[in-house]
Amino acid sequence: MLRFHIILFWTFCCAFVVAQQNTITGQLIDGKSGRAIPSASIRMLSSDGKIVAFKSTDATGFFSIPFNKDRAGYSLEVNHLGYKKYHIDLPKLAEHFVISLEEQAILLEDVEVKSKPMIRRLGDTLAYDVGQFAKEEDRSIGDVIKRLPGMEVSESGRIKYQGKEISNFYIDGDDLLDDRYALGTRTIPHKMVKDIQVLNNHEHLKVLKNKRFTDQVALNLVIKEDAKMKMTAEAKVGAGLPHQYESELNNILFNKKYKMLNVLNGNNSGIDLSNELIGYNRENTLARLGTMPINNLLSSGTVAAPPLARHHYFFNNSGAINTNNLFNVKRNWQIKSNIQALYNRSHQNFSGQTDFFTPKETVSFSETQRSELDEWLAAIRLSANKNVEQKFISNTLSLEYEKENEWVTIHSNQQHIGVKRSHLIRGLSNQLEIVPELKNGKIIQFSWFTNYGSKPQSLRLEPGIFPNLMNQSLPYDATIQNLDVPNFFTRISSGYRSPTGKISQYYGVNLSVESQELSSGIEIEQRGVVSLAQLDSSTNTMAWQRGQYLGNAEYGWKNNRLETALSLPFGFQQTSYSDPTYQLDERQYRWLFLPNFSLKYRAWSEDELNFNYNFSNNFGNIQDVYRGVIIRNYRSLSQNSAQINESNTHAFAFNYRLNRTFDLFFSNVGLKYSRQHREAMLSQLISNDISQTVLLPLPNVVNTWSAELGVDKYVMPLSGTLKLGTNWSYTDFKQLFNGELLPFQNFSYGLAPQINIKLWKRIDFAYQGSLQWSLSRQRDFAELGNSIFSATQHISIPFYPVKGAVVRISGRHLYTRQSVQSDFNYFFVDAFSRYRITKWKMDLELNLSNLANIKTFQTYSISSNRQSQNNYELRGRMAILKVIFAL
């Protein structure tokens, strides 16, 4: 099957190359002067007037259009402002010809533009015409974005343009959803959207536009005028087998004064609603509070999630509400609320075999796990801002809550263990920013961010584990690990910016204070009596503080095509931590210098070269210096004996983006290198019964190289997009395992072809592949090397039997080959159909998934000296019939 997909992919590529060999060429000249006419629009039309090919003449008036069809019924049309339209049937033309255009005076107010290019560029803004890229099978704007040339959308919904993640997602210029835009791309109907704009070199603060260096990319949806006049609402109700349901109610309104997108939904069909609650660009998300967050230190097991779409293995019963409302009020003020809440109850079944290799031994352990999860999530964000050319004022208040309880039954290496894990997150943060422009053109910047969060966690294991450590080798009923790490962080910064003159300047100061406390204890329970574990180091009562005082000088220079920026942060940092239980009272003082240099060069009219270098320091946090033992899961203990885990990184990045808007061609190439020097190394001590990690004061250097290449082309004769992405990475590092210092090298190579074309008038074809080669080996011990080849391929064939109906057959092929194991080969088949009843404003949808009824899935993974083989329970065959009403 893999060979068939590869042959099919190259067949289409070859067909495209052959199509390029038959071309129609010509030249446009002025009928009076005989001079060449550049930038004229040349369109190839079918018999029903549809555009099948499009080109613009170059500076010499020349054009060349690939055309590999019978000329009968096709015609050529020439348009240029100031000249009469020229139209001729193709059979009357030679292969190469000269067209003489006649001048015509046109009053601009009488000109009516009836059609426009698929993609238009105006300065740094690129606009895609949604109507010309949308297909009958599409429902939301996210469906259209996936096939746009130059765009990339991950399965989680994260959007990239030419390899760079977008920084903002606007709806008619307003940032309604912040960076939680997955809800918008899934919910907003594509028929509401006129254009999708890509904003290159984007600056969110209007007062700083063109006044400081930026290489960010943002997306803006331009809403149609008629769609702004009324509220759009939909109700979706679905039911199916076995015992499945889906429901959703949403309402949308996007006008100048008020924007809203509110959704209430629930399902038990494997749809994970939490993806729409967590932002893509926030450093501190719902489960990560503070600048140096403490995430889940405690876990229920060791098996990772499979490389599958989540709905295949996510057994859930979920409900969520997501409300987003924005008001544009007087004096350019904007008031916004984003409120999300989720309840989810789910269960999952995993099993796995993990092997650790060294030159002297192989350590293996197996695990079978059945888990049930009960969780509540809630987030409230209230903000007010004024973003105009003279000033920017913003204040955002955020409240976050998460409660999670998990019950797990584990069978591992002849042991049966019951686990209960729980945590509770409560967080509060506030961000204030004031950026006014003075009368002399100078700019003052001030910001103040404050955050407080706590996350008590607990882990209960039955029967008690590690009796030789915890209870003098005597068996006991239960082990209980309790843990809490409250965190307080505040940062105040202010600065003065002078954007005028040949060199723009900024001088600022930054003060931040962070405080954390780690309290933990291990208890044992025997016959209903709870007592402290017999282990000497079973508790932690650590206090940790850090203060940072930075000055910053920034300089920018811009001259025609070249723009550079140099940032020179410098300052002082003090860190202290203490724990009286271990007579620990340490302090660290460091001078900081963190230079950053960026360069941007605009080559030709649309190409851009970017280079960046930065030096950074990382000093870890409280979880790197605690001394007492913490039980991380049923088989893992963790503690530290090192000082602060200090590291520094030199990072270089080069990127070149080549664009040809008129040719609908986009490409980018990126190269990265980083060298990280760490003062401490994580030591792993693993046996068949226990895993211990200790941070030791041993230096380690990690070198990482990576490269990527992306090429996108919209092909008019195929009415679709061809994409090809490639990537390569290499990492060199050392690892301390069971007392041995082992040098490792990791290699990765990837190829990602994508085709989205029209086969015939009523049939489309889509293919998306990901081929990945991975190699991990221990230097000087070739026999310890592990290599894996994996291929993930999607094929989709939508066809349209009658007006208003679409039927889609799709398949997903997953293949894994590993040298010492048998191959894994899976093929999932899904079917979808939709029929639109226009008179009733209603759609009927039938979704059939996993028709082959695959109920188990196996994977391989490798990392340094570790190899894992995991097994997962899948949902099996499902059928859901859904009715969608437009309200």
100 and 124 share a domain?
A: no
Contact yes or no for 63/41 (Cβ under 8 A): no
pLDDT of residue 588: 92
Contact yes or no for 488/514 (Cβ under 8 A): yes
* Three-state SS at 748: strand
Structural domain includes residue 20: yes
11 and 46 share a domain?
A: yes
Strands lying side by side in the sheet with 41-45: 51-56, 41-45, 75-79, 86-89
Give yes or no for residue 235 having a pLDDT over 90.
Answer: yes
Distances (CA, A) of 136 to 63, 130, 132, 673, 800: 32, 12, 11, 44, 8
Lowest mean pLDDT among 98-107, 329-338, 713-722, 726-735: 98-107
149 and 198 share a domain?
A: yes
Give yes or no for residue 286 having a pLDDT over 90.
Answer: no
pLDDT of residue 15: 37
The mean per-residue pLDDT over the stretch 530-556 comes to 92
Give yes or no for residue 779 having a pLDDT over 90.
Answer: no
Cα 315 → chain centroid: 24
What percentage of the chain carries pLDDT values higher than 90?
55
Contact yes or no for 724/686 (Cβ under 8 A): no
pLDDT of residue 688: 58
Distances (CA, A) of 813 to 26, 400, 752, 771: 45, 39, 14, 11
Give yes or no for residue 295 having a pLDDT over 90.
Answer: no
Q: Give the model confidence (pLDDT) of 619-641 as tens digits.
A: 888 888 888 999 988 888 888 87
- Beta-carbon neighbour count of residue 575 at 10 Å? 22
100 and 17 share a domain?
A: yes
Structural domain includes residue 137: yes
For residues 858 and 795, give the distance between their C-alpha atoms in angstroms, rounded to a whole number: 21
Structural domain includes residue 739: no
pLDDT of residue 437: 95
* Three-state SS at 229: coil
Structural domain includes residue 140: yes
For residues 809 and 851, give the distance between their C-alpha atoms in angstroms, rounded to a whole number: 11
836 contact partners, CB below 8 Å, separation of at least 6: 804, 805, 842, 843
pLDDT of residue 441: 92
Please give, one letter per residue, the 3-state secondary structure of 425-469.
EEEEEEEEEEEEECCCCCEEEEEEEEEEEECCEEEEEECCCCHHH
**Whole-number mean pLDDT of the chain?**
86
How does residue 683 score in pLDDT terms, banded at 50, 70 and 90?
confident
Give yes or no for residue 517 having a pLDDT over 60.
Answer: yes
* Higher pLDDT pick, 695 / 807: 807
Q: How far does the chain reach from its first CA to its final CA, in angstroms?
A: 45
Give yes or no for residue 114 having a pLDDT over 60.
Answer: no
How does residue 125 score in pLDDT terms, banded at 50, 70 and 90?
very high
Give yes or no for residue 11 having a pLDDT over 70.
Answer: no
Lowest mean pLDDT among 92-101, 333-342, 491-500, 661-670: 92-101
pLDDT of residue 50: 73
64 and 130 share a domain?
A: no
Residue 544: half-sphere exposure toward Cβ, Cα within 13 Å = 26
The mean per-residue pLDDT over the stretch 2-14 comes to 40
- Domain closes at, from 84, 110, 136: 110
65 and 45 share a domain?
A: yes
Structural domain includes residue 488: no
Cα 757 → chain centroid: 25
Pairing of strands 362-387, 391-412: antiparallel
26 and 71 share a domain?
A: yes
pLDDT of residue 103: 80
pLDDT of residue 748: 93
Q: By residue range, what is the domain housing residue 30?
A: 2-110
For residues 828 and 812, give the distance between their C-alpha atoms in angstroms, rounded to a whole number: 5
Q: What is the CATH number of the domain that holds 217?
A: 2.170.130.10
Q: Give the model confidence (pLDDT) of 130-147 as tens digits.
A: 999 998 889 999 999 998
138 and 71 share a domain?
A: no
6 and 67 share a domain?
A: yes
What percentage of the chain carries pLDDT values higher than 70?
90
Q: How many domains does the chain have?
A: 2
Sign of CA dihedral 132, 136, 138, 140: positive
143 and 177 share a domain?
A: yes
Q: Give the model confidence (pLDDT) of 816-846 as tens digits.
A: 887 667 788 999 999 999 999 988 889 999 9
Most confident of 80-84, 288-292, 480-484: 480-484
Six-digit token pair at 148? 């746009």
801 contact partners, CB below 8 Å, separation of at least 6: 762, 807
Instruction: Annotate 687-737 with DSSP letters as a single string.
Output: -SS-EEEEEES--EEEEEEEEEEEEEEEEGGGTEEEEEEEEEEEEEEEEEE
| Cis, peptide link before residue 242, omega less than 30° from 0 | yes
Structural domain includes residue 274: no
97 and 179 share a domain?
A: no
pLDDT of residue 207: 95
Lowest mean pLDDT among 330-339, 356-365, 746-755: 356-365
Structural domain includes residue 378: no
Give yes or no for residue 461 having a pLDDT over 50.
Answer: yes
How does residue 782 score in pLDDT terms, banded at 50, 70 and 90?
low
324 contact partners, CB below 8 Å, separation of at least 6: 176, 177, 183, 260, 261, 262, 336, 337, 338, 339
Six-digit token pair at 108? 């601009």
- Domain closes at, from 189, 207, 227: 227
Q: What is the CATH number of the domain that holds 89?
A: 2.60.40.1120
- Domain closes at, from 227, 253, 274: 227
Give yes or no for residue 113 having a pLDDT over 60.
Answer: no
Q: Give the model confidence (pLDDT) of 358-415 as tens digits.
A: 666 677 777 888 889 999 999 999 999 999 999 999 999 999 999 999 999 988 777 7
Contact yes or no for 207/443 (Cβ under 8 A): yes
The mean per-residue pLDDT over the stretch 190-210 comes to 94
How does residue 284 score in pLDDT terms, banded at 50, 70 and 90?
very low
Structural domain includes residue 22: yes
103 and 161 share a domain?
A: no
Please give, one letter per residue, the 3-state secondary structure of 232-282.
EEEEEEEEEECCEEEEEEEEEEECCCEEEEEEEEEECCCCCHHHHCCCCCC
Q: Give the model confidence (pLDDT) of 170-184 as tens digits.
A: 999 999 998 889 999
Lowest mean pLDDT among 194-208, 285-299, 697-711, 728-742: 285-299
- The burial of 229, by beta-carbon neighbours within 10 Å (0-12 exposed, 13-18 middle, 19 or more buried), is given as exposed
